[in-house]
Every structure is written in C-alpha cells, then in structure tokens.
Structure 1
Amino acid sequence: MIFTGLLIAVPLVWTIYLSLTDAEGSVRAPSDFVGLSNYLEVFSDFNRFWPAVGRTFIFTGGALAVELVLGMVIALLLWRPFRGERWVRVAILLPLVATPVAVGMMWRLIFDPNIGFANQLLGWFGIPDQPWLSGTDTALPTLIFVDIWQWTPMVVLILLAGLTSLSDEPDEAARIDGANSWQRFWYVTLPLLRSTVVVAIVLRGIDALKTFDILYATKGKGGGSFHEVETLNVYAYGLSFDYNDYGIASTVLILFFLLIIVLMWAVTYRRKANR
C-alpha cells in the first residue's frame, strides 16, 4: 500500500508543482513560480481547452450509454445456457484481445475514404460514400463507434458476472404472479443488478474518459487537422510533447484529474443515496 501510494503521490505532487510554474522546453530547465496564472489561462481558453472538455464528455457519454444498453442486451442473451454458448462468448470477447492501437489502425483502414471496406459496403446498397474519420463532423461519432465495438465486451463480462450471481427465486416468483419478460427485467432483475451496473459505469466511464490510443492512432497530433477529436488527453499530450509547454500541460492534467475524482464521487454518492 505504501509503494502504491508513492506511485500515485509522487507524480501527482510533481505535476501540481509544474502546473504552478512556467516550465517549458524541459522539466529540468529553470522555471519561475507563477501561482494560479496557468489555471486562469486555461479557463479562458475557449479555442482549445473548453472544446476539448466538450468532446471528452461527448465521447465518454456517447460510448458509455450505448455500451451499457448493448452490454445489458448481450449479457441477458448469454445468461441462459444454449447450444454453442462457449463459441458465442469467445467471438464476443475477441475485440478485447487486440491492443487499442491495433484496433485504431484496423478501423482506420476500414474507414479509409478511397480503399476502405465501409464505403464499398455502402455502395452495395446505393448509399453515397461517407467521410468517416476524414470528416470534421463524422470523425468523433466514428471513433465512438470504434470504442463501442472494442469495449462493449468488457461491460458484457461485468454484467454477466452480476447476472449469474442472482438467485432465480425472485424471477420465478414474478413469473408465477403473471409478470411478462419486460416487467421481470425492469422490476426484478435490474434493481437486483443495480450495484453491478454502477461498477460497470465507474470502470468503463473512467476508462473512456482516459481514452488516448485509439484517438491518436487514427487522427494523429492535435486530434486531427481541425482538432475534431481532440479530447483532454490528446490536448495535454500535445502541449507536453509537441509544444513542450509543461506548465500548461500539467494544469490541464490536474484539472482532468479533479474532473475524474468529482465524477467518481458523484456516482458513489448517488449509489449510497439509492440504497
């Protein structure tokens, strides 16, 4: 516990210190203490920072919402034994095997406007070609789809574990009382599964907030030429390694860290309040 605490505390304290200085060029170069001026500068940045915040929430919220619904549907389908169950589970979990960078490069080829299979598939149905990752309005939704494709199996695993731990007695009692499938799910299964759903939201939500590899592998520096997929992670990375502006980059990272802490607290508090 002491070792883990040091692993968290030392980088965090160092990043907080850098956020209060004008460090640039190198973290070891001489720097001056500037107090909260970096934070004021970041909060007044309506060209890059606040749009990045918005994209972070859009990406996380869109991916998480679909993954929860789709994950619940798939978990319910896998809940009861059926023929070929083992092979279906293996097929569903395959996206988790690949690394996010490999997944990003694969989908980059699939969505390529010239040689990609996606536009060829649309052409078979008479649908015009789409810009996908190359469009400023379609790039972020496309990457949300990619995230859903890769990480829905993780939500399925969590929810399926919760479903298999439930007793059959409440569902059987509701069935005897004449409740249909939807009523049994909404009034019996889902309330019993609430704690598992919260775990899935917390784990997948934090992971989605931190998404970097897929975004960078598909769009490169700055989240694209027009920063169309630039989230807080991509923005902070660019400030650090493209511009070597470590003071501002550390400020963005600290604000991002506080955002994650606040969201975790909100979900946890709501969970306790609903008990």
Structure 2
Amino acid sequence: MFAAPAMAFVAALIVFPLAWTLYLSLTDASGSVRASADFIGLRNYARILTDTERFWPAVWRTGLFTGVTLAVQVVLGMCVALLLWRPFRGERWVRVAVLLPLVATPVAVGMMWRLIFDPNIGFANQLLGFVGIPPQPWLAGQTSALWTVMLIDIWQWTPMVALILLAGLTSLSDEPQEAALIDGASGWQRFWYITLPLMMPTVIVAVLLRGIDALKTFDILYATKGKGGGSFHEVETLNVYAYGLSFDYNEYARSSAVLVIFFLIIVGAMFVLTRSKADRT
C-alpha cells in the first residue's frame, strides 16, 4: 500500500506514452501536431509492413547491428572480466582505464570517432598508411559504414558488459575451481566446464541488458551519419527510421506505427531472454 502511489505514477509514465503512440498509429496524423487526425485503422501498419525500400532494410540493419555488437561485446567482456578477476599489481588503475569509454556520452564518442575515421585527415587512415595499407572509406563507404559504427559501439559498451560479468565472477565460490585444479584440470577445462556454466545466469543478464540497449541505439548512429543514417541510409536502423519520419517528414502516424512494431520486437526479445534465464536458474 505504501508503494502503490509511486507504482501508479511510474505506470502512468509508461502507459500514457504507449497508449498515445498506439492511438496515433491508427490515425493519419501528419504535417502539424495541432492538425486534426482521422481514424484509419491498420492502414499505416499495412503500409509499413509492405515497405521493402526503407522499413525491412532498417529491420535487417537493426538485427545485424544488435547481433554482431552483442556477440562481440559478450566475448570481449568475458575476456576482460577474466583478466581482472584475480588481484594483481595496479589493478585499480587498469579497471579505471577499462571503464574510461563509459565516461563520455555516446554523442561525444560518435563525434570523436567521426574525426578519427575521416577519410582525409583521420588518424585511422594515417595509421594504416604506416603499414602500407591504402586508405579506407570507413564511415563514408556504403558497405563499411555500418561495420564501422558497430566497431564504435563495441569500443564504448564492452566495458559495461565486462563490469557485469566481473561482478558475477567475484561472487563465485573458489571451491569448485580448487577441486578441479587438484584433479588436474587445465585452465581452459576449468573455464569451460565450471566457470562458464556457473556464470550463465549472469551472462544472460548481461545479454538482456545490453541487447535491449543495443536494439534502441540511436545517438551514435545519428552523431556519425546524420539524418536518414547517411545519404544512402547505410546505417538506418528502426530508431533512425522512426525519428526521420517524425522530425524530418512530420509523418507522425507512420512513425508511431514503426515504434509500435519496434516495441513489440523489443518485448519479444525480452521475453525470449528472460525465459532463457528462467530455464537456466
């Protein structure tokens, strides 16, 4: 009963925007936020789901971006967490250095890497020139832009995954490791058969938190490529697509339909991951 007012307030903050977005998606709202809108049912959804030029490519890029960045971040995060698991000299300074990418905002990170990957004056191409590799388009290329943005996202958010996994590692008991060591198990065997199974609930939590965040990535994409995800929409994900419909073309109804579909995708991903966590535990 004491928590009911706060819970009702939080529920209102969540339910009202969702309900309003759902309502807009069923209308023909466009042009001005003050203009009257007529109810048109599911026409916006039919239009969006048959859009093979922008919507489905954006869905594909969203899935590819999320899948690749999440997989690499979990693997690298586990490696970093294992390196920081045991005490060593200078441990505090190393942990601070590892967490530095989390200090800057994503927009600042995007602008910084945009300068680094500049085709003409960027440090990345200068570094490649030292080893005899020709300059690369990086963010300027139609095929390389999305992979370059993935690299930026991996650089910034791998420390967060490592921090979550490190917290899980420090909570593990040393007894299984010591018993396996006495039995002659190698380091890889101890990790694969003892550490990793015990860490799976924590890994799933890290995948859940970072996966949902990766699905919603917008700031880095917009900071590096601008409107539409680039001139050829090379990094346009669902978030960037919905933003463009709303603020570039003032098509609020279509944008709302995209966001409702996107919301359902996120809820589905959350359900799958939480179900996996429940089965593990």
Distance in 1 of aligned mates of 2:280 and 2:226: 42
Q: Report the counterpart of residue 177 of structure 1 in structure 2.
A: 183
Aligned length: 275
Cα deviation, 1:103-156, whole Å, max 9, x if unaligned, reads: 000000000000000000000000000000000000000000000000000001
Kindly indicate whether residue 72 of structure 2 is the aligned counterpart of residue 66 of structure 1: yes
CA-atom RMSD in angstroms: 0.6
Structure 1 residue 271, shift from structure 2 partner = 2.2
Q: Report the counterpart of residue 156 of structure 1 in structure 2.
A: 162
Cα deviation, 1:203-242, whole Å, max 9, x if unaligned, reads: 0001100000000001000000000000000000000000
1:64-143 matches, cutoff 5 A: 64-143=70-149
Q: SS of the residue aligned with 1:24?
A: coil
1:228-239 matches, cutoff 5 A: 228-239=234-245
Structure 1 residue 273, shift from structure 2 partner = 2.5
Cα deviation, 1:17-51, whole Å, max 9, x if unaligned, reads: 00000000123311110101100000000000000
Kindly indicate whether residue 171 of structure 2 is the aligned counterpart of residue 187 of structure 1: no
Q: SS of the residue aligned with 1:193?
A: helix
2:259 pairs with 253, 258, 273, which one? 253
Structure 1 residue 268, shift from structure 2 partner = 1.2
Cα deviation, 1:167-207, whole Å, max 9, x if unaligned, reads: 10011111111111011001101111111001100000011
Moved more, 232-241 or 265-274: 265-274
2:219 pairs with 213, 220, 230, which one? 213
Kindly indicate whether residue 37 of structure 2 is the aligned counterpart of residue 37 of structure 1: no
Distance in 2 of aligned mates of 1:194 and 1:218: 34
Structure 1 residue 161, shift from structure 2 partner = 0.3
Distance in 2 of aligned mates of 1:8 and 1:271: 25
Structure 1 residue 11, shift from structure 2 partner = 0.3
Q: Report the counterpart of residue 33 of structure 2 in structure 1.
A: 27
Amino acid at match of 1:187: Y
Could you tell me the TM-score, scaled by structure 2's length? Answer: 0.97
Distance in 2 of aligned mates of 1:102 and 1:20: 37
Amino acid at match of 1:120: Q
Moved more, 20-29 or 251-260: 20-29
Q: SS of the residue aligned with 1:147?
A: helix
Structure 1 residue 89, shift from structure 2 partner = 0.4
> Contact 2:205 / 2:277 at 8 angstroms: preserved in 1?
no
Kindly indicate whether residue 173 of structure 2 is the aligned counterpart of residue 167 of structure 1: yes
Amino acid at match of 1:85: E
Structure 1 residue 3, shift from structure 2 partner = 1.0
Q: SS of the residue aligned with 2:84?
A: helix
Distance in 2 of aligned mates of 1:62 and 1:274: 23
Amino acid at match of 2:90: G
Kindly indicate whether residue 264 of structure 2 is the aligned counterpart of residue 243 of structure 1: no
Identity in percent: 73
Could you tell me the TM-score, scaled by structure 1's length? Answer: 0.99
Structure 1 residue 274, shift from structure 2 partner = 3.3
Distance in 2 of aligned mates of 1:271 and 1:218: 35
**Which residues of structure 1 form unaligned runs of 5+?**
none
Moved more, 262-271 or 237-246: 262-271
Amino acid at match of 1:62: V
Structure 1 residue 246, shift from structure 2 partner = 0.3
Amino acid at match of 2:238: L
Amino acid at match of 2:102: L
Cα deviation, 1:236-270, whole Å, max 9, x if unaligned, reads: 00000000000000000000000000010011112
Distance in 2 of aligned mates of 1:218 and 1:158: 28
